Structure 1
């Protein structure tokens, strides 16, 4: 079983380094449920997908409070830190996580879209940069389905302030054709944008011992960016600028695979989940 966990961890690291997903100006990274078991608890969670790699450290301060920190690596980096208020019930667990974070992203990509998007006749280019602060409040509830399986639900309420929000891309025909033309072009160059993002997620957690476990995190992000003014989307077949409130560089789906390591020295009283 330990060998399976090692392979799983290697897959997360490999997937997070790939370029299969085009990097976005904002990528949802809601914290995983901490599930603090007692006053001596501490653990390290490693999670990611084809676009991000994230570590999350949790430590209990006492029987009611704990601390949490996240390091996020993508086409840049992000760091979050917060406090956890938690409470245990007979067959469930509740916590509220509150914290602040800073994120910076910068990415330049030029490539043909063949294998990934299944359109061999298009060429993609983008240049993006964003810098933002966020304050988040995330209540979570976890149910123990069995000795080795748990199900959790979280709602991350994320208030985001973009100091920079710059994005440009073009999508043109490919394969060296003489009929070169642009399918789409998009540009945003804004500062001081305030956004509210609601990120509900569900988490399935599996464990065979008190020391290790793995989990799957699935969710979606609902967003509202308040003061974007000069956003336009140009399509060659329209030949006119078209205003879209929901910016296409935003990736709403949340899909993460993770691995948890219990760092607590004395695990005699730990229950499997």
Structure 2
């Protein structure tokens, strides 16, 4: 395997009060010895620095691509089954294209007190290499080789307050929101076509959306009793909401459907689901 690596550091940005900026940039390339295996290219950067006496920021970004392995990388290991499974090959490693960016602005508004506002975005798409649950020998499935057949989008936002006082008490509190969208080519959900691209689907892609909200608060209390220890008390609330327009579309009536399921509507199933978790916690650590 031949590998090339290059890195550079830009000393131009950060530390509070120093007026300095710091940054880095890194690039990576991996070329396998055998051309049937996908090559990898990746680059990322980070930048941090002051925005005045009380404000500072951090910015991070990443871009990488790995090619899919060749369709016939496992030639000679075809399925022994007959019929529609003839010439089905085990798939190689799927390719991927990934893009990320994340930024944080920090406000040190008082001694030992700070607020941080964070925002991020990422997108990850695949490069199809032939993987299916049962068979990949048909022309439609093979026509998707090298295409993007699923993609994942993620957005996140957070606000954090970290505080401390002269008596040693500290606190950490945050509210966070994440939205994730899983978008993919429609697939069969049951039987021999399960996991196989649906050539007859009316949509090019179907989405599953997940919204996640978290509230967290904790306080750390120093205690000098028998031994030096810190008591942590906190609470957390998490709510997740999902809209799934893909996984629950399997027909439950008619030929070749597997039949009805008790308690599940055959025609009017809601795509929505929700979960909530509330917790209280306490712990102590000592030294």
What's the TM-score bracket when you normalise by the shorter of the two chains?
0.3 to 0.5
The higher relative CO (CA closer than 8 Å, separation ≥ 6) is in 1
Structure (1 or 2) with the larger CA radius of gyration? 2
Please give the TM-score of this superposition, normalised by the length of structure 2. Answer: 0.35
